[in-house]
Structure 1
Amino acid sequence: MDGAHVTAEGLGLRGPRGWAFRGVTLDAEPGSLIAIEGPSGSGRTCLLLTLTGRMRPTEGVATVGGSTLPRHMAAVRRISALAGVAGVTDLEPALTAGEHLRERALLQHRFGDSLRELLHPRAGRSHEARLRVDAALAAAGLDLETLPKGSRTAVRDLGRVQELRLSVALALIGRPRLLGVDDLDTKLSDAERAEVWDLLRSLARGGTTVLAVCRTAPEDCVVVSTHRDTAGGNTTSRDDAEEDADALA
């Protein structure tokens, strides 16, 4: 599936305590690696959630895969997926990697598959689900056999990079055209951060458009800044903005 073309013009989101971000302009071709760059609390996650159709912008417009925001937020949600977003895609520490994958495949089958796929015989659908999971794991660079207990390894026993790769794999099961990954700076060493950026580059080379939140972006990204001097107006923390029920989809 081709990645989503992402554009924005004068995009802004205002919460009860001020602007989370403002004046965002962007034009990224399908298969781009887009870095949302800025300090913590500058509205980075809010912009990620807005461009993936999860938060309603206050001003400006954006298009994602041909669908316009804020008018067609549901359509954007259907072609996008999230990974590593605290409070949104949290993994259950007590569940195993295999349990998370089976649960996501089941949810995809029940709520995400097209009518044509649902009409396939049950055996064919099970085979398709296994292929999807295998393809997602391969794209995320996660080999379950290398985990301490294989697919039975609990999330709480995963390293930070392994946990992030699992979150990415879960997102990829739905074959999104746009993948949003939050906060690549949290609990990662420089070497681990470089490893994760290599993963995101490989996904972009494969055709998926990738949005990644970070403090400092690599040089090969399409960069969108949420620094105060470029966002304009008052900035507010991610938690403050996400409390604004009117902004949520």
Structure 2
Amino acid sequence: MPGDGGGARQVPPGVPTALVNDGEGLEIEARGLRARGPLGTVFKGVDLLVRPAGLTVVAGQGGTGRTSLLLALGGRFRTSGGTITARLGDTPVDPLRHSALARATPGVALVPQWTVHEHRAERAATTRTFSTATLEAAGELLDCAPPARTVVGRLPARDRLLFAVALAVAARRPAVLVDDVDAGLGGTDLREVWLRLARLAGAGITVLATAAAPPPPDWAVPLAAYTTLSPRTAAADAARRP
């Protein structure tokens, strides 16, 4: 993902050079997307443009299908209709191969009993594109670099989430998916997490996140787009901010 040749993006202030993506991140577009499960409709009628190198939020309470939609947009959940198109520039690509999943509750999460070092070692062993330099750069950008011997379950909720995001970034894919951003967080901690995810997007990485609600406008979190899901129905209230 990071590059070393001509035509690279200008490094935004405060962004480690090793983290900057030469391209513009992954674009994902959903049109008329729907999915069904054993209990019926999971989501339907979803139209959403996940802009490259931006922070996009899928918001909704439990039961709205937000996690399933997140996984579907990343090529990890079977849909029953509509289309998903992912692009790097003008080139169509497979979203599964070009995104990294930081968290998707309850199935994809850090192991509370493992240390930071054990998580790093496991990712290095199982992810071909894993980069220690990129992990360190992501930790610097996200202001989250817990000591290697720290047991992850003892980290504050904010740092657990940010460490999971940093591990995903270390896979060196142009998009990162993260579920339930506001789970166990509120107030200043939640605002800081949103701002750091937006900072990550500023480095050229597409960030697609879910939460019960998008960050409020007075927090001044730069969003590329957001969509709000209603229970067992559709993306009922799509909105965009510049």
Quote the Cα distance in structure 2 between the aligned partners of 1:227 and 1:195: 27
Q: Secondary structure at the match of 1:90?
A: coil
The letter of the residue matching 1:6 is I
Quote the Cα distance in structure 2 between the aligned partners of 1:87 and 1:33: 23
Matches within 5 A, 1:5-16: 5-16=27-38
The letter of the residue matching 1:161 is R
For structure 1, the residue ranges without an aligned partner over 5 or more in a row are 114-127, 145-149, 234-249
Quote the Cα distance in structure 2 between the aligned partners of 1:89 and 1:164: 12
Q: Secondary structure at the match of 1:76?
A: coil
- Aligned with residue 80 of structure 1, among 99, 122, 130: 99
Residue 201 of structure 1: how far off its partner (Å): 0.4
Q: What residue in structure 2 maps to residue 20 of structure 1? A: 42
Q: Secondary structure at the match of 2:163?
A: helix
Q: Secondary structure at the match of 1:151?
A: coil
**Superposition CA RMSD, Å:** 2.2
Higher strand share: 2
Matches within 5 A, 1:137-152: 137-144=139-146, 150-152=147-149
* Contact 2:227-2:235 at 8 Å conserved across structures: no
Quote the Cα distance in structure 1 between the aligned partners of 2:231 and 2:81: 17
Residue 133 of structure 1: how far off its partner (Å): 2.7
Moved over 6 A (4+): none
**Greater Cα offset, 41-50 or 23-32:** 23-32
Q: Secondary structure at the match of 2:96?
A: helix
Residue 137 of structure 1: how far off its partner (Å): 2.0
Q: What residue in structure 2 maps to residue 134 of structure 1? A: 136
Seq. identity, %: 35
Higher helix share: 1
Paired positions, count: 206
* Contact 1:89-1:167 at 8 Å conserved across structures: no
Quote the Cα distance in structure 2 between the aligned partners of 1:167 and 1:229: 29
TM-score, reference length from structure 1: 0.76
TM-score, reference length from structure 2: 0.78
Quote the Cα distance in structure 1 between the aligned partners of 2:232 and 2:40: 15
Q: What residue in structure 2 maps to residue 223 of structure 1? A: 226
Q: Which has the larger radius of gyration?
A: 1
Quote the Cα distance in structure 2 between the aligned partners of 1:130 and 1:33: 24
Using a 3 Å threshold, how does the CA distance of structure 1 residues 18 and 166 change in structure 2: closer, same or farther? Answer: same
